[in-house]
Amino acid sequence: MKLLIDECLSPALAEHARQRGHGESTHVVWRGWAGTKDWELIAHILDGDWTFVTRNAVDFRGPVGNPGTTGQYTRAEIHAGLICLVGAEGMDLALQLELFDHALDLIGDDSLINQVLEVVLDDDGYISMRRYALPPQLE
């Protein structure tokens, strides 16, 4: 899996992903895309077949109660996946790595094609994970 780490997260996550076997992982800043608007960044993500890792969940997947109704991924009929690390403002590196490790452990060798994986630290300090289709599957 090729992981692209958003600039709102530490570049250390890209290094960590490489150490965990995701050798093509990189960071938005390393690609020269620092400061790129989300609506421009999604084109790079889709063109590069990246699984995107961000803490900016709302802007990419839409509102928590209704993902896929708004957000940058509404433009994508097919994508390599989205990982959202959701916690308090100003997550330190240790917490970013902890949430990211949970995501990598859950994914294993699977892909996230047309899926979102959210790893959420709630106000009580509990971590939960939610994996779902985006765009939503028609039943």
The one-digit pLDDT tens for each residue of the chain (139 residues) are 999 999 999 999 999 999 999 999 999 999 999 999 999 999 999 999 999 999 999 999 988 888 888 899 987 889 999 999 998 888 999 999 999 999 999 998 899 999 999 999 998 889 999 999 998 764 4
Q: Does residue 138 sit within a domain?
A: no
Q: Does residue 139 sit within a domain?
A: no
Q: In the chain, how long is the greatest CA-to-CA distance? A: 41
pLDDT value for 22: 95
Residues 79, 112: contact at Cβ < 8 Å? no
Closest CA to 129 of 96, 100, 93: 100
Overall domain count for the chain: 1
User: Radius of gyration (Cα) for the chain, nearest Å?
Assistant: 14
3-class SS at 75? helix
User: pTM for the complete prediction?
Assistant: 0.94
Q: Does residue 70 sit within a domain?
A: yes
Q: Does residue 44 sit within a domain?
A: yes
Give the range of the structural domain holding residue 8, as residue numbers without chain letter.
3-133
Q: Does residue 97 sit within a domain?
A: yes
pLDDT value for 12: 98
| Phi, psi of 117, rounded to the nearest 5 degrees | -120, 120
In the numeric block, the tokens 């009929």 are attached to 77
pLDDT value for 75: 77
